[in-house]
């Protein structure tokens, strides 16, 4: 079945520096170049790159992107569960937040978006590396929101990690686990 790309997709990927926030966003943006005429990836760093807040905004569009900066997005993907309150205002009404469930103790104040907690960290640890949690949440995002076909992410992983077979396999396995999780968490 041919994947029909939505005309515009917006996502904010957020977490703590060192979690792979920027890697996940850039991977999505790079892979999307095969389907979208206009793609933007804008990173933003907190006070410290490792350990401080980190986020990036990704916009995929068939039309020109007037501004790559977003106050709110259709989807916000948060790799650190303790950051729910910090990023809840960034989810557009009617949108979704995909969030790591480890550290998630708060409840959202708003009821106008879908919250999808994902136990990605637990799965990443079972796969041998907590740092591949970003690929698990990216897999959930791609399965649930369907911005691009999953194969494009897998091809981009091969381009990025080709020649480093262990790293490639680990990232692909994590991404595929995320796709599986996404099948049970559709928005």
Q: Is the pTM of this model over 0.85?
A: yes
- pLDDT reported for residue 101: 95
Strands, E assignment, the chain = 8-16, 38-45, 53-61, 73-78, 91-100, 114-118
Question: Which pLDDT does position 47 carry in this prediction?
Answer: 59
Q: How far apart are CA 55 and CA 43, in angstroms?
A: 6
Q: Per the structure block, which two tokens stand in for 133? A: 């949690």
Q: What is the pLDDT of residue 2?
A: 56
Q: Identify the H or E element spanning 180.
A: helix 165-183
Do residues 34 and 109 touch, judged by C-beta distance below 8 A?
Answer: no
To the nearest 10°, the Cα dihedral for 117, 7, 158, 174?
10
Cα separation of 102 and 135, whole Å? 16
Please, what are the averages of pLDDT over each run of 10 residues along the chain (187 residues)? 76 93 97 97 74 91 95 97 96 98 94 96 95 97 96 97 94 97 79
CA proximity to 136, closest of 180, 109, 174, 95: 174
List the one residue out of 56, 54, 95, 105 whose CA is nearest residue 73: 95
What's the pLDDT at 49?
55
What is the second-level CATH architecture of the domain 8-183? 3-Layer(aba) Sandwich (3.40)
- What whole-number distance in Å separates Cα of residue 111 and Cα of residue 126? 33
Which pLDDT score is estimated for 17?
86
Count other C-beta atoms under 10 Å from residue 105's C-beta: 7
- pLDDT of res. 187: 47
- The domain spans of the chain are 8-183
């Amino acid at each position: 079945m041919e994947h029909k790309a939505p005309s515009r997709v917006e996502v904010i990927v957020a977490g703590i520096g060192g979690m792979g926030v920027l890697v996940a966003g850039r991977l999505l943006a790079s892979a999307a170049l095969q389907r979208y005429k206009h793609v933007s990836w804008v990173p933003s760093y907190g006070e410290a790159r490792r350990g401080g807040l980190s986020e990036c905004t990704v916009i995929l569009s068939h039309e020109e992107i007037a501004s790559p900066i977003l106050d709110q997005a259709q989807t916000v993907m948060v790799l650190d569960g303790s950051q729910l309150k910090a990023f809840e205002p960034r989810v557009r009404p009617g949108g979704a937040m995909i969030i790591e469930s480890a550290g998630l103790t708060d409840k959202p104040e708003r009821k106008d978006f879908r919250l999808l907690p994902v136990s990605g960290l637990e799965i990443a640890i079972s796969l041998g590396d907590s740092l591949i949690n970003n690929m698990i949440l990216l897999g959930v995002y791609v399965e649930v929101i369907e911005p691009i076909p999953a194969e494009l992410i897998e091809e981009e992983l091969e381009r990025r990690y080709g020649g480093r077979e262990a790293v490639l396999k680990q990232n692909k396995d994590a991404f595929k686990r995320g796709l599986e999780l996404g099948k049970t968490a559709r928005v």
